[in-house]
Amino acid sequence: MSKPIILNAAELPARTQAELASLFTVLDLPKHTDEARAFLAQHGAAVRGIALRKTKIDAAFLDALPALEIIASYSAGLDNLDVQSAKARGIRIENSSHILAEDVANTAIGLALALTRDIVKADTYVRSGNWATHGALPLGRSISRMKVGIVGLGTIGAAIAKRLRAFGSQLAYYGPNRKSVDLPYYDDVTRLAADSDLLILTCPLTPQTHHLVDAKVIDALGPNGFLVNIARGPVVDEAALIEALNTQRIAGAALDVFEHEPQVPAALIANPRVVLTPHIGSATEETRTAMADNVVDVLASHFGIVGPRSVAALAAHADADKAVAAL
């Protein structure tokens, strides 16, 4: 029986590419737009699955793949995919939000602590020798005593909430729908910001959340409020944030994502009340490996193929059975 044909539209680790090649007939999507369009016109009719990362997939792209059954995304965000068109076709969509949630939540907490306790500034202060000559730094703020608003209580937001509960923060959340959780719910992000000392953004980027955090929300957060964004850059109106920082209308911001990354505005780089990281939310060896493995595993499962981790699981069960039999 011939192998299912998969379109590789992702930059994946060599091991993952080798696994895909062993299970499927893999077609690599050309990087240049014109070449990709011609490639899809020639081969698209046979493609049944996609391994996706950052490639832009719109309705026209999907139309070139009439036999497509599943899209397996390495990433959590699906802002590069026309989700509505895919769902209208009944195409299965799988992402990695359940895999990267723990490390992204850890990053969010790390950024919140770095921001509210001036950890980056404190490191520079010690290295420069200013501690000995200028004395102690000004006091920071305690997230254990803060009201923290979480914008988007999905898998990642829930993981952040679990950590903040341990810190003792007072939590509330905003989203399109109320969740079955024991937390105060806001259906208006501006009201949540007004009632928060710290706002953490974890929502997906959609047309509805583009510039969700605008000047009005930032002003509601206020001059003593902090903002942490580990969602997507365009969720925040970056120009409005810069203006608020420059006019002291917000206490500070910690940003792992940016509106036009990897380009970061000079005004953010120059501002000492901003903590910046280069989109490292899920960037640990363990999680990135698991994200890549998930692409292979969901494709294999969808097509009823025994993949490498399925083989390992079967072997582990067999070893366990042998151990029980030897007792």
Q: Are 104 and 159 in contact, with CB atoms under 8 Å apart?
A: yes
Question: Measuring CA to CA, how many Å separate 300 from each of 9, 54, 114?
Answer: 17, 21, 41
Q: Per-residue confidence of the chain (327 residues) as pLDDT tens digits?
A: 689 999 999 999 999 999 999 999 999 999 998 999 999 999 999 999 999 999 999 999 999 999 999 999 999 889 999 999 999 999 999 999 999 999 999 999 999 999 999 999 999 999 999 999 999 999 999 999 999 999 999 999 999 999 999 999 999 999 999 999 999 999 999 999 999 999 999 999 999 999 999 999 999 999 999 999 999 999 999 999 999 999 999 999 999 999 999 999 999 999 999 999 999 999 999 999 999 999 999 999 999 998 887 645 434 433 434 433 444
Specify the CATH number of the domain 5-96+285-326: 3.40.50.720
Residue 279 known to be catalytic: yes
Residue in 48, 94, 232, 238 annotated catalytic:
232
Q: Are 178 and 185 in contact, with CB atoms under 8 Å apart?
A: yes
Residue in 43, 243, 261, 309 annotated catalytic:
261
Residue 261 known to be catalytic: yes
Give me the pLDDT at residue 130, please: 95
pTM, rounded to two decimals:
0.89
Residue in 279, 288, 302, 309 annotated catalytic:
279
Residue 163 known to be catalytic: no
Q: Where in the chain is the domain with CATH 3.40.50.720?
A: 5-96+285-326, 99-276
Give me the pLDDT at residue 309, please: 76
Specify the CATH number of the domain 99-276: 3.40.50.720
Give me the pLDDT at residue 1, please: 60
